[in-house]
Structures are given as structure tokens and as C-alpha cells.
Amino acid sequence: MISGGGTGGHIYPALALIKRLQERRLLDLDEVLYVGTAKGLEADIVTKAGIPFETIEIQGFKRKLTFDNFHTLTLFHKSLTRAKKLIQEFQPDIVIGTGGYVCAPVCYEASRLHIPTMIHEQNSVAGVSNKFLAHFVDRICYVFPEVAHQFPESKKLVFTGNPRAQEVSALKPQGMLAELGLNPALQTLLIVGGSRGAAPLNKAVVEGIPEFSEKPYQVIFITGRALYDNVIKEIGTEKTAPNVKVLAYLDNMSQLLPEIAVFGGRSGATTLAEVTALGIPSILIPSPYVTHDHQSKNADYLVKNSAALLLPEMELNGRSLVAAADHILLDSEVWQRMHMASLKLATTDASDKMIEEMMSLIRAYRH
């Protein structure tokens, strides 16, 4: 049984782990149950993947004392009952939580029922659910070294990396640049603000298009579905450039990564796992709107290891974005150094490491 939800950063590592278990013939799809929420991204992503899916109703606490928090407490107690019922019906050999509020009741009830439990922390700042669960679970898998000291249960800690990195590291070029009408022989900068887009990032790219149009490299600009029409209006006919491809979104974006020279965008855990898996130098613009500013701390790890440039949102504009791209793409030595530094941070055996821990726990409980 695996549980995680709310954001893609909690969902995609879980799916990557399930896929690897299948590849190693350790699991069939009818032997896994994914537990999420009906309103979270997981409801769509997991069911589309054909994985058995059940839901629990739960929500997070507000930081301020409000009456809504009393409703949250009521939901949490109900979620424990629901989680216990799902566990008793499914009878899992092990329960894994990958983050988000939904995994709290699932992993907590599993520990009370004496079933092996593991959690996976993808970010450099531990999430609320994982901090709570750390007291009860058997193993705490993590990605960023900085997060280890945030868990007092040091004997439970296991560095694994992100399962998504192992999945992406196996990808090969598939000719997507040519399919998009771009030149496969040119270095390509991919700029993306996520499926919903990021307005400040979009504004900077639009400002930078006149300069980008004169560069010897090409740009793929993903606006986000909701913001695409506005961006096209802002670009108009005057700023169009043959070496800048503007798209609303790509559902198979990871398939494009092996053909990308530089990534520009947010610094979510899954994104960084993907780009380091392929050794892609990055221009990171952390979102300042996330809990505990964890994207800035994620980005700092790559910047300190010379795998990325940091461009804070308050310093972001067309000129600064183009300058960062030029710094990497117009100097082959800089690109090569950052490429090698990025590869050194890759953990391309993360799923296998987690599977080893899973099997070890299952054996220990059975004996």
C-alpha cells in the first residue's frame, strides 16, 4: 500500500517506485493499492496510470487558529477509521508514505497494526506529515542531506535519493525537438513554470524574446495551460521568433529532457531529481510561495554544488534570464562543468535502494 498526494512531487516518486517493482517482477498491479484524496492531483494521475486507487477525506491545518481547524480535527479522526478499514481489507505486506496529509493516517494506522512502514521525504525541508510520522514508522528515506537533521530518529534514516531520478535516467532522445519543428542540432533551453504556469516567469520570458531571437540556441517556453492565451496576446506579432517555441504544456515533458541542454524554472524536488538524473545544468527560480520556502533550500543544494545558477524571483526579468542562459549556453566549458556537477548529484538507483529497505523490513517483521 502506498499513499501520497497533493502535489506531483509526492505522486511521481510513488509511481516511479511502483513501476520499478513491476520491472523487477516483484509486484503486479493487482497487488498494489494507492491511497489518496478525491480532490488531489493523485485522483487523476494515479487512475490514469491504471493503479488501483482508494480515497480518504482529509485536509491540512490552517496556521492561524480558526473554526476550520476543528473541522480538520474531525476529518482526521474519521480518516484514521477509514485508513484502518482499508488496511485490514487489503492486508499489505508494507505501507509507504511519500508525503502530503493523506499519508499521515495511512502510515500511522499501519504502524499501530504492526505492519512495516516507510516514508520518503523528497525536499530539503521536512513536510508536516513526515515529521509527525517519523515517530512511528520504521524507515525514513530522504534525498537532500540537509533534511536529515530535521528528524531526531537518526537510526531510521536511509539516504536513497528520489525514485523519479532512476526512472528518468533511463530515457533516451526520441526526436521530440524535430516533432516540435525545432532544430535537433541546436542547443535547447527549456523554460517551464509547471502545469499551471508561473506568471512572473512568463513575464520575464516575454520580455526576453527579442534578445532570445538573436541567439545561436533555441528556446522551448511552456506557459502553463491557464496562462497560454494571455502570453500569446502579450507576445503579439512583433515579438515572435523562429527559435522560440511557445507551448501551453507537454504531457510527456520528461520524454523531451534527454534533448535539452539547459533547464530554467522552479526548483521542486521532482524537477531537480529529473534534471540531475540527466546532468542538465539549470537556471533555478524558486517559488517564494511554498511552505517554509523549501524550493529555495532545494535550489541552494544544486547551486552550492555548481550544478545550477540561482535567479531569485525578485531579480527575475527578461534581461537577467537571458544573461543566465547566455552564461551557460554560450560557453562550452561552463556548460560541461555544470553538466558533470549535475550528474554527480544524481541518484540513479533510488528505487532499488528503497526496494532493498522494503524487503529487509518485510523479512524482519516475518521473523
Do residue 138 and residue 270 come from a single domain? no
Task: Give the mean model confidence (pLDDT) for residues 304-318.
Answer: 97
DSSP code at position 2: E
| Whether residue 153 sits in one domain with residue 262 | no
Q: Which alpha helices (H) appear in 116-249, and where do they start and end?
A: 128-133, 163-169, 176-179, 199-212, 228-235
How confident is the model at residue 173, as a pLDDT? 95
Residues 355 and 336 in one domain: no
Tens digits of residue pLDDT in 205-233: 999 999 999 999 999 999 998 899 999 99
What confidence score (pLDDT) does residue 153 get? 82
Cα 59 from chain centre: 21
78 plus 124 within the same structural domain: yes
Res 367: pLDDT: 83
Q: What is the mean pLDDT of the chain?
A: 93
pTM of the model: 0.90
295 in a known ligand binding site: yes
48-57: pLDDT as tens digits: 999 999 999 9
Q: Are both 211 and 315 inside the same structural domain?
A: yes
Is the domain of 101 the same as that of 233? no
Domain of 258? Answer: 169-345
- One domain, residues 329 and 354: no
What is the per-residue pLDDT across 58-100, written as a single tens digit (0 to 9) for each? Answer: 866 544 555 564 556 678 889 999 999 999 999 999 999 999 9
- The per-residue pLDDT for 66 is 54
Is 150 among the annotated ligand-binding positions? no
Share of the chain above pLDDT 70, in %: 95
Q: Are residues 138 and 263 in the same domain?
A: no
Question: Do 156 and 224 fall within a single domain?
Answer: no
Question: How far apart (Å, rounded) are the C-alpha atoms in residues 156 and 58?
Answer: 27
Per-residue pLDDT of 231-276, as tens digits, reads 999 998 767 789 999 999 998 899 999 999 999 999 999 999 999 9
Do residues 78 and 115 share a domain?
yes
Residue 321 has which C-alpha cell?
A: 534570464
Who's near 306: CB < 8 A, 6+ residues apart?
Answer: 337, 338, 341
What is the CATH classification number for the domain harbouring 214?
3.40.50.2000
What's residue 196's pLDDT?
75
8 assigned binding-site residue: yes
Q: Is 347 labelled a binding residue?
A: no
Asked whether residue 264 is marked as a ligand-binding residue, the answer is no
**Structural domain count of the chain:** 2
